Chains A and B, each alone.
Chain A
């Protein structure tokens, strides 16, 4: 057979195969009491097993409710009054959480564990918790602190650690750095819809739809944090009580329906999407301007504010 023919047929073969679509590697796992879906587009060198192991390791380390053999995790720290030596990964995560408490003036507080659990039970039972218990837990939070010393952590006081509002974002940020180091850029990783990191979609943008609204926006190479009263809630006397708890008042009533906030740091976005649910719009605008965050605020199924750089499509 002539060489030209072979070349032509080989080309045809490649065209036939490539016409069937892009190669998308997709995997869903279930850490942090939610799901985490990873989509990689035409990326052949992704070590999904390594990524899964990394996420599962953080899942165990940040677990406040279960102990694991041979691991000192959040549960271990919560159940001790002494310094506990922990893995560097957990040490850095809790240290970062403490830094976030200071940065957010206490609106994010890693010592919200007991209060958070009280509200989780309330949501499950669809009944308001006892106000005395809430007051007692608020006092515990204000009288407690975290102490760090050479890879060891200790809680001073009665409060407990809960990293539910930061772990997903923090881990996705670690993952983002890992992907960058390995030249992996075409991906979408969705942590339970509350923390998302985006690479690009074969060079292009991703289409991000907004739930309950017939519109969306395009984005790439960015981290997105979302918080919404639509998740984990119950309604009593037309008031929605959700999983977002104000560490100053103990209230589970949010000021907004949904917050979508974007920046290159997934950990920050996870924290601020929650914090913004407790703040007035003017405070949100001010923080976004100071920190180069882009935000969408949704109230009553309508966008009440969005950053001017975000272009919506219908």
Chain B
């Protein structure tokens, strides 16, 4: 029986895989907004909020107070990254620029968390 439907099964499995991959790509790369706000917090409090939609294309640097040392963070239009952190693993630096709501930047060593929030409120645009 397996032999009889082998071609069908392979084709259906391939389609499911392609479908899943498409969804993964969609949710990773298209889950971005034109109205992003960066919420930068420590363990308990919001340190600062930056409206990334009104930033220019030229990156500017800000300092964020960390538990052990301050972080150097680069912000530009709808994008944010950690430029420098004193943490041992450098994961927060290695993640690079983030422009989507589903990819937080976390520096556990300095207890700094950067999360992007879609501030469009379900609107296509806010004016």
Using a CB–CB distance below 8 Å, which chain A residues touch chain B?
1, 5, 9, 12-13, 16-17, 19-21, 24, 26, 28, 30, 35, 37, 39, 188, 190, 193, 196, 201, 206-211, 214, 216, 224, 226, 260
Nearest chain A CB to B25's CB is how many angstroms away? 8
Closest to A201 in B: B124
Nearest chain A CB to B65's CB is how many angstroms away? 26
8 A-B pairs with the lowest CB-CB distances in the bound complex, closest first: A16-B19, A209-B123, A209-B126, A206-B124, A30-B57, A20-B26, A207-B123, A226-B127
Q: A30–B127 Cα gap in the complex (Å)?
A: 18
Closest to A209 in B: B123
Interface size bracket, B side: 20 to 34
Nearest chain B CB to A28's CB is how many angstroms away? 6
* Also in contact, A9 and B12, with CB within 8 A (given A35-B57, A208-B127, A224-B127): yes
Contact B124–A188 (Cβ < 8 Å): yes
Q: Is B7 among interface residues, defined by CB-CB distance under 8 A? A: yes
User: Which B residues between 93 and 127 are near A, CB-CB below 8 angstroms?
Assistant: 120-127
Q: A17–B24 Cα gap in the complex (Å)?
A: 12
* Also in contact, A193 and B78, with CB within 8 A (given A1-B8, A16-B15, A207-B122): no
Q: Is B67 among interface residues, defined by CB-CB distance under 8 A? A: no
Using a CB–CB distance below 8 Å, which chain B residues touch chain A?
7-8, 11-12, 15-16, 18-19, 22-23, 26, 30, 34, 56-57, 77-78, 120-127
* Also in contact, A9 and B124, with CB within 8 A (given A17-B22, A21-B30, A30-B57): no
Q: A190–B57 Cα gap in the complex (Å)?
A: 16
Nearest chain A CB to B120's CB is how many angstroms away? 7
Q: Tell which of B7, B16, B34, B122 has the most Cβ of chain A within 10 Å.
A: B34
16 contacts between A and B (CB under 8 A): A1-B7, A9-B15, A12-B15, A13-B19, A16-B18, A16-B19, A21-B30, A24-B30, A28-B34, A30-B57, A190-B125, A193-B127, A196-B127, A201-B124, A206-B124, A210-B126
Closest to A212 in B: B126
Question: Which A residues touch B16, using CB under 8 A?
Answer: 16
Contact A211–B56 (Cβ < 8 Å): no
Question: Which B residues touch A193, using CB under 8 A?
Answer: 125-127
Question: Which B residues touch A9, using CB under 8 A?
Answer: 8, 11-12, 15
Question: Which A residues touch B23, using CB under 8 A?
Answer: 19-20
Contact A210–B122 (Cβ < 8 Å): no
